[in-house]
Amino acid sequence: MPESPKFCIYGAGAIGGMIGGMLAHVGASVTMIARGKTLAAMKQRGLRVITPGETLDIPVTASADPAELGPQDYVIIAVKTPALPEVAVRIAPLLGPDTAVVTAMNGIPWWFFANDNGALAGRPLPAVDPDGTIARAIPVTSVIGCVVYFASSLDGPGIVRHNAHCKLLVGEVDGTSTARLARLAYWLRRAGFDCVESSNIRSDIWLKVWGNLTTNPISMLTAATVGRIIEDPLVRELCVRMMEEAAQVGQAIGIPPGLSVSEMVDRVRSFGAVKTSMLQDAERGTPVEIDALLTVMHDIGEMVHVPTPFIDSVLGLARLRAKGLGLLPASDTGQPVPANDAFALGRTS
């Protein structure tokens, strides 16, 4: 077996716990950043991963302080996007000159236009990095993008249940093939993931957002599962209109969706009676990822002069609902950033 690189999983929730647990199970060198009850549970009995075939109790080294762990070969960030500014402030001790930062997160990331060749090249995205803190803390040259296509959940602190699928897409921001990308993919495959090295991770990210930006916020507003949302003809039509708008935005920035709207609707329908991550977050009382899915789509639409009235309407309703539940930061004004102000705020996705 090749010597394992040093992996640090920043965020030991359902996604980070699954990735870190499976890597550790096959002998990779894994540490985890966690806090509260999750940290206490892992210090006491390690990490438990429940799969359809077996239950794995996996010893892991966990800490709340990145300074205790030192520089890593790979830092896999697996937190909800509202927590990312705090990660950026604390991540420095984990980063050496050759550390790769893998963003295993939902939504449009802060670095999205960093390597773009079009009119938006280098554009910051204030919706997901309002003051540039993330961009300053994590150099885009260190980033490897990641799209997660598996379902997992938490049965309790440090107890992860794998529910379905096991696919990961990983890719360099500039689309190149590198040794660090190949090494990452090798270990993820060894851990049991169907890991694909992508030559266009930005398109892969956009495709997933295109599917998520409808059912996620609508489920938070209605408490309905994906299946109920898609089977209701009026709500399905709303989803279709939102997808059409997002597809037009994608075309304007040079990222066609790759699927027709009807094909995406069928794909979403196939998930059936499942709760979206945003609905689960709302039920748990944890921050929801509105900005990385909806606000950023509104902002990019304004940048390229593509109107998004259906997306904007759901964004406004979702903000009101999240504020009523206390799930948005107190500093959030609820107003999208005007496109002509976005670049002046100085930030990157």
Are the C-beta atoms of residues 255 and 300 closer than 8 Å to each other? no
Residue 284 CB partners (closer than 8 Å, separation 6+): none
**Which value, in Å, is the radius of gyration of the alpha carbons in the chain?**
19
* Catalytic entry in 6, 167, 208, 323: 208
Q: Is 37 a catalytic residue?
A: no
The single-letter DSSP state of residue 79 is S
* DSSP-H helix ranges across the chain: 14-25, 36-45, 84-90, 133-137, 179-190, 201-222, 226-231, 233-252, 261-269, 277-284, 290, 296-303, 309-324, 339-342
CA-angle at 109, arms to 104 and 113, nearest 5°: 135
CA distances from 201 to 4, 64, 184 (A): 25, 30, 15
> 37: left (phi > 0), else alpha (psi -120 to 50), else beta?
alpha
Which residues are annotated as catalytic? 208
